[in-house]
Amino acid sequence: MSLAWYVAKRLYSHGGGSRKVSRPAILIATWGVALGLAVMVISVAVVLGFKRGVRDKVTGMGSHIQVVNYESLYSPEISPIQMKDSLLEALRAVQGVRSVRPFCQKTGMLKTDEAFQGVAFRGVEENYDLSFLRSQLTEGEMDEPFHKDKNTNRLVVSSYMADQLGLRVGSKVYAYFFSGELRARRFTVSAVYATNMSEHDRNLVFCDYAAVHQLLGYEPDQASGAEVEINDFDSLEQVAARVNALTKHRMDDYGGYYTSPTIKELFPNIFSWLDLLDLNVIVILVLMTAVACFTTVCGLLILVLERTQFIGVMKALGARNRQLRAVFIYYALFIIVKGVIIGDVLGIAICLLQKHFALVRLDPSTYYVSSVPILINWSLTVALSLGVLVVSVLVLVVPSYLVSNIQPAKSIRFE
């Protein structure tokens, strides 16, 4: 153990909090670091949770990548594209792909005696992952999967549509489709969902693949497209490049050209908005780090000035400036470490309370979620703590040189 470390530890443990000036200075420095770090931990957890929550809702209803007809990108009506088994198997074999799910989609209208609503009917088959949709249900159940080869006339609508049309689980509703001639089908509402995202809740209903495929008049190997779900969202661009290599400039047997836009390309406004949150976090981190550093530097200066006589005596006994600077940096390090521990405990505790009890509520029509979401990234939390610790110690190097200007002859008589 070095002499500087030993002296700093003795000063901190026995005399650091007894002086009239240094006591509040130490408290302010400690809580400055603690509150700054707590705000950082909470901010990062909220932004990560918010991005994950909104992203999961967007991808849950539209998957990560869609393989569709190129003409569908520039037309309100989706054009068919050939989905051979060989292509589906090739897509499933792409590294990073979890599942590939063909779908059929057609615009139409739901009508009751009191109102009507234009919607998009999405037909899905047995292998369609309904876990996300089940998690968003507000009424009814989805125990039975949808079907590719038979039509059960079941319909899953959003709560927005249910309110507009006066529908409930078990309600009968007529659907009308316009494609050269008017066609009508009667469906039974089996469940009601709510994602709180107007892009989906105002437009999308789910039914059997067979029902929509029959209405569209597609060939047996044609579909509106396929949803490609990947294992890791962070690898979206890499997996999309591999999928694009299978589909780009490729024409099917009916003359349609494949294209494979990612979910970011289909919903650019939402993901651009989410990317802006990263800038907000960076600003908060910089400001809170500055607050922590400022309070620590002020505390160090007060400690040095109050310990002027001590510094003079130590110099008279032969202590060097470097050793004395180290004493006060170690002293400040004890304060910073304590502040970091308090900040971590405080920030994580608030995050856990919000995560489990949803104390802070939000308007889902504006923020897409009903409460402030929390996602604690433990590795990032540790990195923040270490970052604050290192930066706070580094900024103390320059103020510590104040010790070098103190003369023993004058400081021993200092009051």
pLDDT digits (tens, 9 = 90+) for 190-239: 999 999 898 889 999 999 999 999 999 999 999 999 999 999 999 999 99
Q: What is the pLDDT, as a whole number, of residue 15?
A: 54
pLDDT above 60 (res 117): yes
Q: What is the pLDDT, as a whole number, of residue 413?
A: 58
Q: Which residues pair with 259 in a beta bridge?
A: 68
CA–CA separation, 336 and 338 (whole Å): 5
pLDDT above 90 (res 364): no
Per-residue pLDDT tens over the stretch 156-191? 999 999 999 999 999 999 999 987 788 999 999 999
Say how many CA atoms lie within 13 Å of 134 toward its Cβ: 10
Q: How many CB atoms lie within 10 A of CB 258?
A: 23
Per-residue pLDDT tens over the stretch 290-325? 989 999 888 888 888 777 777 788 777 788 888 888
Q: What is the pLDDT, as a whole number, of residue 17?
A: 46
Q: Using alpha carbons, select from 327, 414, 326 the residue that is nearest to residue 11.
A: 327
pTM equals 0.84
Q: How many CB atoms lie within 10 A of CB 409?
A: 9
- pLDDT class for 408, splitting at 50, 70, 90? low
| Average pLDDT over the chain, rounded to an integer | 90
- pLDDT class for 249, splitting at 50, 70, 90? confident
Per-residue pLDDT tens over the stretch 377-397? 999 999 999 999 999 989 988
CA–CA separation, 393 and 293 (whole Å): 8
